[in-house]
Structure 1
Amino acid sequence: MKIGIIGATGYGGAELVRIFKQHPHVEECILYSSSGDGQLYSQSYPHLTTITDQTLKAIDPAAIVRETDAVFLATPAGVSSELTPKLMNQGVPIIDLSGDLRIQDGATYEAWYKRRAADQSSVQQAVYGLSELNRETIEKAEVIANPGCFPTAVLLGLAPLMKQNLIDESMIIIDAKTGVSGAGRSASLGTHFSELNDNFKIYKVNEHQHTPEIEQILREWNPQTANITFSTHLVPMTRGIMATMYTQLKSDITKEELMKHMKGFYEDSYFVRVRDHEVYPQTREVYGSNFCDIGFHLDERTGRLTIVSVIDNLMKGAAGQAVQNFNIIKGLDEEAGLTMTPLYP
């Protein structure tokens, strides 16, 4: 198959290229860029010299649909909402890595993203691509709204308990940390080396745009879910997310029963690995991979539960999950092209 990647010069686009280079069912990646049209891709990423030396092509929706078997939109917010309607309903799956198609309510999107919402026909057609939780719907989809990086880590950690009504839906606190690549490739003061190095800071306090995405899915699982408290922090590392969730159990359950339930929930999900009780994952242990590792601690004294979920934000939080969704849509082995071992140390 031939794969189109729009926004190939960003980090998400580069990760898609890396994955598809080893994908057994993909012959070629055709790379599109609004800023680098006509340039060699290796000018943007010299480490790909002699590996991926294609010339970047202009974004022409009609040509893209003719040339490709699937299209990935690795674009900033606001771009997909313009391009998706021009690509839809032509028999080519579209997988959008931006947030444009995730939020069902247009007013909510505009309030949190501070930009105009996508056309509702695009949003309504898009399937939320949380691979492990939505496989059957993804299989039949033409348009995928790939989940955000923070929501992927948070939702995979909470799903086994929320979907079985085991935790108090009125009290969910999420404390999340991310590496700097989550901010994208464009330079800014907040990601400047001298500002970030030897530093640790909270940002977008109670205002992160992934908040309504998390709440939307939690309410699909349990309509009684209250507004969450969601804090995000930037740490001086390149890749990785750690989401720590604090909540309260609704009924008495032992740590052994909880571990059995958590592991059983993901027993058919290769990319989600649940640790034993009090064995906590680290971001380094999923670096460069499509794994989500989950640990937990049940405080039997208070009845409170702490869940720790780690992912690589560019892989399971973006390009890796996008390829996993592509595999599901195309009826391929879900692990195709994604079985790379985490880089350690």
Structure 2
Amino acid sequence: MTSAGAARIKIGIVGGTGYTGVELLRLLSQHPNAQLTAITSRKEDGMPVADMFPNLRGRVDLCFQTPEKANLDDCDVVFFATPHGVAMSQAESLIKQNVRIIDLAADFRLQDTEVFERWYKMPHSCPAILKESVYGLVELNREKIASAQVIGNPGCYPTTVLLGLAPLIQDGRRLIDTSHIIADCKSGVSGAGRKAEVSTLFSEASDNFKAYGVAGHRHHPEISEQLKLLAGGPVGLLFVPHLVPMIRGMFSTLYARILPEALDTDFQALFEQRYANETFVDVMPAGSLPETRSVRASNHLRIAVHRPDGGDQLVILVTQDNLVKGASGQAVQNMNLMFGLPESTGLDHVAILP
């Protein structure tokens, strides 16, 4: 354990060449308690990090190393910004050295290994560690995260949907029809990762707008599993993701029908009370229309609650930066909790405008 002003947290990053990796580096390079000690990449072994990411010149003086060269066992915590399957292949050896793990992929998000194997097309190699891992959505699992050894960092879409719906179904509440919830979600192109792919080429993604994963998306079972835990029973969810022609940002529009016995509920007050003490969740004034640019490069998530014509339909608008609160910022938020730091340490960045 550490605290503000105490010894720094020795940090390793596995697979730091993608967008979540560079976001981790950006955030941790400004974190007062972070000591970046190792970052791995087989392909870029020996390359200075600042050569790949010039925004980090003068901030990060590490070079990429192969996993064999990097002394990850000496770290206090290791972040995995890697493809699915990598973290679980190294988790056991790191845990034996008392290293904490925060995985930004899906290895420790789904507790049901059969569901994981169906969606990610690989066997889960450490189900015992999975069973002890904690789903790292701070606003829902704060106490468990603080004492966890392994964190499954939530997906970007699930973060918006779960925080947008939690006040309506948490703690035994029965305010909406949980058998039919619609999540209509949009993400910037960086959500697809930093890789060569035709669908994310400028000529393909620019000046275009499309749905994808309509027949099924990997984040659907993750959202459903967590909603079931919140609601204490099955939840019917229709989830449709879309790709929008912007680099970063996420906007989720959630539709839920109010139950007859809950029509007198003040939903604006309900959301304001639920998130009153949450540093990174901003419930906007009634009638607000949040924009993705209002959270760009910040760890903030903004929510607006609408009830058109005072009827029985709720429309909940949720925005976040998919690379920060939707990925790397949330991972740092988890780390802060795990090491006894104030949750906002190193994360109090104002969003970038324009």
TM value normalised by structure 1: 0.95
- Once the two structures are superposed, residues 37-63 of structure 1 have per-residue CA deviations (whole angstroms, 9 ceiling, x without a partner) of 222112321332333232112213993
Local SS of the residue matching 2:162: helix
Q: Cα distance, 1:86 vs. partner?
A: 2.2
Residue in structure 1 matching 2:201, options 180, 192, 203: 192
User: How far apart, CA to CA, are the structure 1 residues paired with 2:69 and 2:108?
Assistant: 18
Matched with 1:93 is: 100
Aligned to 1:8: 16
Contact 2:84 2:107 in 1 (8 A): yes
Q: Aligned residue for 1:124?
A: 131
* 2:162 counterpart (155, 162, 182): 155
Distance 2:235 2:270 in 1: 24
Question: Take 1:221 and 1:272, find their aligned partners in 2: how far apart are those partners?
Answer: 18
Q: Write the distance in 1 (CA, Å) between the matches of 2:89 and 2:142.
A: 27
* Cα distance in 2 between the residues matched to 1:324 and 1:29: 19
8 Å contact kept, 1:206–1:230: no
State whether residues 20 and 328 of structure 2, in contact with CA within 8 Å, keep that contact through their aligned partners in structure 1: yes
Shift of 1:28: 2.9
* Cα distance, 1:180–1:301 mapped onto 2, change above 3 Å: same
After superposition, the C-alpha distances for 1:134-189 in whole angstroms (9 at most, x for unaligned) are: 11000110100000000001101101111122211101011000000000000101
Match of 1:292 in 2: 301
Q: Distance in 1 between matches of 2:81 and 2:20?
A: 6
Q: Per-residue deviation at 1:125? A: 1.8
What's 1:106 paired with? 113
1:24 alignment partner, one of 22, 32, 35: 32
* Residue aligning to 1:84: 91
Q: Distance in 2 between matches of 1:61 and 1:168?
A: 54
Q: Residue 189 of structure 2 corresponds to which residue in structure 1?
A: 180
Aligned counterparts of 2:147 and 2:58: Cα–Cα separation in 1 = 37
Q: Percent identity?
A: 43
* Paired residues of 1:101 and 1:118 also in contact (CA < 8 A): no
Equivalenced residues, count: 343
Helix, strand or coil for the counterpart of 1:204? coil
Deviation at 1:33, TM superposition (A): 1.5
Cα distance in 1 for residues equivalent to 2:52 and 2:263: 53
Match of 1:330 in 2: 339
Please tell me whether the aligned partners of residues 167 and 248 of structure 1 are also in contact (alpha carbons under 8 angstroms): yes
Judged with a 3 Å threshold, the aligned counterparts in structure 2 of structure 1 residues 227 and 254 are, in CA distance, closer, same or farther, namely closer
Query: Residues 257-272 of structure 1: matches in 2 within 5 Å?
Result: 257-272=266-281
User: Is the 8 Å Cα contact of residues 284 and 343 (structure 1) preserved in structure 2?
Assistant: yes
Counterpart residue type for residue 59 of structure 1: P
After TM superposition, list the pairs within 5 Å mapping 1:310-321 onto structure 2.
Answer: 310-321=319-330
Alignment CA distance shift 1:293-1:29 (3 Å):
farther
- Kindly state the Cα deviation for residue 226 of structure 1 after the two structures are TM-superposed: 3.0
CA distance in 2, matches of 1:46, 1:12: 16
Structure 2, gaps ≥5 residues long: 1-8
Q: How does 1:61-80 map to 2 (within 5 A)?
A: 63-66=71-74, 68-80=75-87
1:46 aligns with 2:25: no
* Corresponding residue of 1:281: 290
Q: Distance in 1 between matches of 2:315 and 2:37?
A: 42
Does the CA contact (< 8 Å) of 2:38 and 2:71 recur in 1?
no
Secondary structure in 1 aligned to 2:277? coil
TM-score by length of 2: 0.93
Q: Which amino acid aligns with 2:42?
A: S
Residues 61, 87 of structure 1: 8 Å contact kept = no
Matched, 1:226 2:223: no
Given that residues 61 and 86 in structure 1 are in contact (C-alpha distance below 8 angstroms), is that contact kept between their aligned partners in structure 2?
A: no
Q: 1:9 Cα shift? A: 0.9
Map Cα deviations across residues 222-251 of structure 1 (whole Å, 9 max, x no partner). 233333110000000000111111011123
